[in-house]
Amino acid sequence: MERHNISNTYKASLRDSPLSSVRIRTAAGDPRRGWLTAGGQTVPVALGRGGVKANKREGDGGTPRGTFRPLQLWWRADRHPRPRTFLPVRAIGPHDAWCEDPLSRHYNQPVRLDRDRGGDRLKRDDHLYDFVVEIDHNSSPRIAGRGSAVFLHLARENFSPTAGCVSMRKSAMLQLLQRLGPDTRIVIE
């Protein structure tokens, strides 16, 4: 009986710790679809309309190939309770956006929308950005034109391609968030 309890405790502690890595690979026959494998589970994902690209460029629709780290979770507090995660969490406000202008000094960074500054609005009418995991793609150093606003976020109903992000169903996102931490490696192949 003691051995069984140790085993259950071990399994519970594994579930209660961040994942060391998450793997994302393209699906056979469709470079705009893929599979995310984490913690022994595999779920379908939508990828960029340009497939996975080793040499990501702004506007190419490609999902960048490489190894990245999650930086923080942005979430719609007005729509969902705060999810459980090991990541820093920030509620999305009405003026939160992401700068996609390679000529801006704020390129590939969060910005506040105002009369003089545009960007990819994070507070959307649809549900794609209800949960947004910011990753460290093109962040240190930021190189103009190498791609911006590459996130993990929610998928459209039909899993149509993204502009370069990785998207998934809400249930898969919530499960992933429970095990995602700042040291988790996100490997996109």
Each residue's pLDDT tens digit, 87-131: 999 999 999 999 999 999 999 999 998 766 666 789 999 999 999
- Yes or no: say if 103 and 144 are a contact pair by the CB < 8 Å rule: yes
Residue 69: the pLDDT is 98
Tokens found for residue 111: 């910005």
Closest CA to 139 of 29, 64, 54: 64
SS3 170: helix
Cis peptide before 70 (omega within 30 of 0): no
Query: Amino acid identity, residue 78?
Result: D
Q: Rounded distance, CA 100 to CA 168, Å?
A: 22
Please give the angle made by the CA atoms of 11, 86 and 6, to the nearest 5 degrees.
Answer: 15
Residues of the chain predicted below pLDDT 70 = 1-15, 115-119
For residue 92, the model assigns a pLDDT of 97
Q: What is the pLDDT of residue 114?
A: 76
Long-range CB pairs of 136-144, under 8 A, 24+ apart, other chains included: 136/68, 136/69, 136/70, 136/71, 137/56, 137/64, 137/66, 137/68, 138/56, 138/64, 138/108, 139/71, 139/108, 142/107, 142/108, 142/109, 144/102, 144/103, 144/107
Given a contact cutoff of 8 angstroms between Cβ atoms, the answer to whether 47 and 34 are in contact is yes
Predicted TM-score (pTM) of this structure: 0.90
pLDDT of residue 12: 44
Under DSSP, is residue 31 helix (H, G, I), strand (E, B) or coil? Answer: strand
